[in-house]
A and B are shown apart, each in its own frame.
Chain A
Amino acid sequence: MHVDKVKHDFEPKIVALVCTWCTYAGADLAGTSRMQYPPNVRVVKFPCTGRIDPVFILRAFQKGADGVLVSGCHPGDCHYMAGNFHARRRFAAFRKLLEFVGVDLSRLQFSWVSAAEGGKWVEMVTELTERVRQLGPLTEFRELELAEQWSGSTLTTPELKEAYQAI
Chain B
Amino acid sequence: MNKTARKHDSAVLVDEGYWSSVSQAIQQEAVRLLEQGAVAGVVGYIAGRRTGTAMPVVAATPDEARQLIFSPACVNNLALYFTKAKKEVSSKGKLAIVAKGCDLRALAGLMGESQLKREDVYIIGIACAGVYGAHADRSQPLCDATIARKCRECTVHEPTGADAVAGTLPALQKLEPLEAQELARLEAMTPQERWAFWKEHFSRCIRCLACRQVCPFCFCEQCLCDRNRPQSVETTPRPAGNTAWHIVRAMHLAGRCGGCAECERVCPMDIPLNLLNRKMAKELKELYDYEAGLTPQEKGPLTEYKEDDDESFIK
Whether B239 is near chain A, meaning CB under 8 Å from some CB there, is: yes
Most buried by B among A62, A75, A100, A145: A100
Enumerate A121-167 residues with CB–CB distance to B below 8 Å. 124, 140-141, 144-145, 147-150
Per the bound structure, the CA–CA distance linking A54 and B239 in Å amounts to: 19
Tell me the smallest distance from the CB of A93 to a CB of chain B, in Å: 5
Per the bound structure, the CA–CA distance linking A150 and B204 in Å amounts to: 9
Most buried by B among A98, A102, A145, A147: A102
User: Which B residues touch A56, using CB under 8 A?
Assistant: 232
Per the bound structure, the CA–CA distance linking A22 and B243 in Å amounts to: 32
Per the bound structure, the CA–CA distance linking A91 and B302 in Å amounts to: 10
Q: Which of A6-14, A28-36, A39-47, A103-111 contacts B (4 or more CB under 8 A)?
A: A103-111
User: Which A residues touch B196, using CB under 8 A?
Assistant: 102
Per the bound structure, the CA–CA distance linking A99 and B250 in Å amounts to: 13
User: Which B residues touch A100, using CB under 8 A?
Assistant: 186-187, 194, 276, 279
Tell me the smallest distance from the CB of A89 to a CB of chain B, in Å: 6
User: Which B residues touch A140, using CB under 8 A?
Assistant: 195
User: Which B residues touch A95, using CB under 8 A?
Assistant: 313
Most buried by A among B203, B239, B309, B310: B239
Whether A3 is near chain B, meaning CB under 8 Å from some CB there, is: no
Whether A85 is near chain B, meaning CB under 8 Å from some CB there, is: yes
Whether B240 is near chain A, meaning CB under 8 Å from some CB there, is: yes
User: Which B residues touch A147, using CB under 8 A?
Assistant: 203, 238-240
Per the bound structure, the CA–CA distance linking A3 and B309 in Å amounts to: 39
Whether A55 is near chain B, meaning CB under 8 Å from some CB there, is: yes
Per the bound structure, the CA–CA distance linking A53 and B238 in Å amounts to: 22
For B177-198 the 0/1 string (1 means CB < 8 A from A) is 0000000001100011111111
Q: How many A residues, CB 8 Å from partner?
A: 42
CB-based contact B251/A93 at 8 Å: yes
CB-based contact A149/B238 at 8 Å: yes
CB-based contact B309/A88 at 8 Å: yes
CB-based contact A96/B283 at 8 Å: yes
CB-based contact B197/A150 at 8 Å: no
Whether B284 is near chain A, meaning CB under 8 Å from some CB there, is: yes
Whether B271 is near chain A, meaning CB under 8 Å from some CB there, is: no
Given contacts A111-B315, A140-B195, A147-B203, contact A93 B280 (CB under 8 A): yes
CB-based contact B240/A102 at 8 Å: no
User: Which A residues touch B254, using CB under 8 A?
Assistant: 93, 97
Per the bound structure, the CA–CA distance linking A103 and B232 in Å amounts to: 19
Closest to B243 in A: A144
Whether A101 is near chain B, meaning CB under 8 Å from some CB there, is: yes
CB-based contact A85/B194 at 8 Å: no
CB-based contact B240/A98 at 8 Å: no
Whether A112 is near chain B, meaning CB under 8 Å from some CB there, is: yes
Closest to B275 in A: A100
Contact partner of B247 (CB less than 8 A), chosen from A82, A98, A110, A145, is A98
Enumerate B258-315 residues with CB–CB distance to A below 8 Å. 276, 279-280, 283-284, 287-288, 301-303, 305-307, 309-311, 313-315
Contact partner of A90 (CB less than 8 A), chosen from B199, B280, B302, is B302
What are some 14 contacts across the A-B interface (CB < 8 A)? A62-B240, A86-B305, A89-B305, A92-B313, A93-B255, A96-B280, A97-B283, A98-B247, A100-B279, A101-B243, A102-B191, A110-B314, A140-B195, A150-B238
Measured CB to CB, the residues of B under 8 A from A are: 186-187, 191-199, 203-204, 224, 232-233, 237-240, 243-244, 246-248, 250-251, 254-255, 276, 279-280, 283-284, 287-288, 301-303, 305-307, 309-311, 313-315
Additional 4 contacts, C-beta under 8 A, given A95-B313, A96-B280, A111-B315: A59-B232, A88-B305, A147-B203, A150-B238
